[in-house]
Structure 1
Amino acid sequence: MTETNDLHSLLSERFPRQAGAETDGTTITWLANQGVMSARGADPSKFLQGQITCDVDKVTANVSTLGARCNPKGRMQSSFRLLKSGDDEFLLFMNRELIAGQVSELSKYAVFFKTALTDVSADWVGLGLWGPDAQQALHGARLEVPGRSNEVMHTGRAMVIRLGEDAFEIWLPASELQPTLDNLCQSATPAATEEWQVRQIRAGIGEVTQSTYESFIPQMLNLQQLGGVSFRKGCYTGQEIVARMQYLGKLKRRMYRLLLAGEAPPPPGTPIVDREDGKPLGEVVIAARCNHIVEMLAVLQKDAAQLTTMSVADSGGPLLTMADLPYESELIASEADKEN
């Protein structure tokens, strides 16, 4: 058995596969669906600046950001969190199934900047940690605790990213995983990956998957509300379309949070329809189950978002209901300003 298989077996044994009942305690999970792409070279920042939506110049050893890579038509090929792991390397954390394609696509341009793109997912293990005692759990594992959202703290090669008041992503070298994981699990209860996905849904953080590759422009996933799009940094692939939508266009579709009574999360890309006439209204971005309720993010037509007859296509199941996003009021306000 290879070291990778050994590691996968260890993590599969440590973390449950199915989500349990939601608790108020401190929880830890394996980010099993996330992978890591490395951009390393003489000047990877200059290369990335011309390829992705976020401002790479603002990413330092202690500051991370969300971002996306678009095709020339502004359609997202990937969404990710970007951080700087060294003077000559950036890491992009994204849905694992997208990495091979992104390495292939971006490498066509990286060669001109003496930058190498590689899939380094096997070298890293991602963990999600959240709850009232999350900071104490980090201290117990001798990991530095970042103080602000998007801040990164390094302890040796280990990296901790603060996502909110009591939520963190932890990226550990695979070769150094077990002692740190053992210490973290003394203060946090292991949970299924799906429970972390529910938390991301409630935070309004969508992601591109293989099923939704090139389906959305960044504003459809509210990425501008999350700091993942810079409108000042200059040109990048797809920038003209993204900027035009921000300043001149009228966004007709954007991401909302929906609830569905049931146990079966619809996969990304599943159509959302009007139950009364079958008219398509949008599609699922991500979905996960918690306490017999499926929570999801979906891109919907704005004029249909308040319908009470929305359902998952061909399900014949319960109707969907709307739920709040943490930045909903700011998003509505910015849309109203633009229309006026």
Structure 2
Amino acid sequence: MEGEDAQSFLQGQLSNDMRKLAPERAALSSLNSPKGRVLATLIVFPTQSGYGLLIAPDIVEAMQRRLQMFVLRSKVQLIPSEEAVRGYVGDAPPGVEWQIQQGSDDLRIRAPGTPTRSWLVGGGSDAPADESAFAAADIASGLPCVGAAQSDAHIAQHLGLQHFGALSFDKGCFTGQEVIARMHYRGGIKRMPLRLTGSGAPPEPGLTLRSGDGNALAEVVNSVATSDGCEMLVVWRGLEAPEVVECDQGRFEVRAFEARDKEASPS
């Protein structure tokens, strides 16, 4: 996104505070519906002419159309990028999560969680990207990537976005702010993210996990095949985590999220 109004435009649309971004820091944010449901998660980083937005590939066009609806007289341009974005495990800038390392023709953004890893935007590399390992590390850290299958399905806090500093409650109004802020200040959170592992094939994102008697237990946000089965991030319908989830799709163990090297708590 480019233009002299880029910051103020994103400030009114996204859940994070664009004024707190720095050249060396990226941030997680969300684009929400007026009802406070997450339409997409975004990694936002400053560029020389505006901001870069990393979004799940299957939802880029839809989110571009949605943002364009609100441009009106704002001096901004939504320009799709042709630069490659790859995830590398074991390769990241020094420091804490979201740290940016600027290269001559690329940049690296340090991802949260362990093992150490980063997104590479632009440029090139001889190192092969391991998408499965990177996706598994996202799940292990609890980092949701909301694409088409889960768009408009969950309130931000149900996805755990507050644990990544993605929600600002003192920046002023943004789309969906009323619902998200009310849940923050008055309570009412009734769901939470869980990390599940199992021995079978990964259930597809968007699938509802149901008990044997048909009751909905959780919705799959992200999933990935691993060497010994699968891992997935789900939104659990409740605030008490079980040790095991048994459902139509199989038996899954609940695992703790990996510790993260973070700099500050959410505002």
Question: Do both share a fold (TM > 0.5)?
Answer: yes
Classify 1:155/1:307 alpha carbon distance in 2 versus 1 (closer, same or farther; 3 Å): closer
Q: Secondary structure at the match of 1:111?
A: coil
Classify 1:309/1:55 alpha carbon distance in 2 versus 1 (closer, same or farther; 3 Å): closer
Question: C-alpha distance in 2, partners of 1:191/1:294?
Answer: 19
Q: Secondary structure at the match of 1:116?
A: coil
TM-score (norm: length of structure 2): 0.91
For the pair 1:85 / 2:35, whether they are aligned, the reply is: no
Indicate conservation of the 8 Å contact 1:110/1:117, yes or no.
Answer: no
Of the candidates 107, 115, 118, which is equivalent to residue 79 of structure 2?
Answer: 118
For the pair 1:104 / 2:65, whether they are aligned, the reply is: yes
Question: Who is 1:127 aligned against?
Answer: 86
For residue 265 of structure 1, what is the amino acid of its counterpart? P
Indicate conservation of the 8 Å contact 1:40/1:90, yes or no.
Answer: yes
Question: C-alpha distance in 2, partners of 1:226/1:41?
Answer: 28
The CA deviation string for residues 201-251 of structure 1, in whole angstroms up to 9 with x for no partner, is: 111101111011100111111000011111111100000000001111321
Indicate conservation of the 8 Å contact 1:225/1:327, yes or no.
Answer: no
Classify 1:225/1:252 alpha carbon distance in 2 versus 1 (closer, same or farther; 3 Å): same
Between the aligned residues of both structures, percent identity stands at: 28
Question: Who is 1:320 aligned against?
Answer: 252
For residue 121 of structure 2, what is the amino acid of its counterpart? W
User: Structure 1 stretches of 5 or more lacking a match?
Assistant: 1-38, 136-144, 329-333, 335-340
Superposed, which structure 2 residues align to 1:1-340 within 5 Å? 39-86=1-48, 88-120=49-81, 123-131=82-90, 134=91, 145-164=93-112, 166-173=116-123, 177=124, 181-182=125-126, 185=127, 190=128, 192-262=130-200, 264-275=201-212, 277-303=213-239, 305-306=241-242, 308-311=244-247, 313=248, 315=249, 318-326=250-258
Indicate conservation of the 8 Å contact 1:146/1:160, yes or no.
Answer: no
Q: Which has the higher helix share?
A: 1
Question: C-alpha distance in 2, partners of 1:280/1:307?
Answer: 17
The CA deviation string for residues 83-130 of structure 1, in whole angstroms up to 9 with x for no partner, is: 0111x310110101111111111111123211111221xx21112222
Q: Secondary structure at the match of 1:259?
A: strand
Indicate conservation of the 8 Å contact 2:208/2:217, yes or no.
Answer: yes
Q: Secondary structure at the match of 1:119?
A: coil
For residue 153 of structure 1, what is the amino acid of its counterpart? Q
The CA deviation string for residues 54-108 of structure 1, in whole angstroms up to 9 with x for no partner, is: 110111211110000001000111101100111x310110101111111111111
The CA deviation string for residues 31-74 of structure 1, in whole angstroms up to 9 with x for no partner, is: xxxxxxxx111220000000000110111211110000001000
Give the superposition deviation at 1:309: 4.8
For residue 70 of structure 1, what is the amino acid of its counterpart? N
